[in-house]
Structure 1
Amino acid sequence: MPMGIGRVGRVGMIGAPVARTAAVVGTAKVVSNGVDRRQDRREDRRDRR
């Protein structure tokens, strides 16, 4: 599949692989924080019973 017209030869300041890795790491961090918070709330509800 060919890439879009504006995509050829354009790499950001950091570089495509590094930027992609940073985005994946950032997303994983946000997801893991949400999971941790949900587990904490669940444990708090169990402690109250």
Structure 2
Amino acid sequence: MAETTVNQSNNGQYRTTVPKDIGDIFKLDGKKLKWSRGSAKDKFEVQIVDE
């Protein structure tokens, strides 16, 4: 399991990076993602919507 750090920018948005191996496996370059709340309060889901 990969870990990344989340940082808040000056405009209030939160940012993080995607680990290279995950980006490569899913070919994420240029893709759009949908973020949603997961079934537990400390989880969320990311779905590729631009395939």
TM-score of the pair, normalised by structure 1:
0.24
Greater RCO, CA 8 A, separation 6+: 2
How high is the TM-score relative to the length of structure 2?
Answer: 0.23
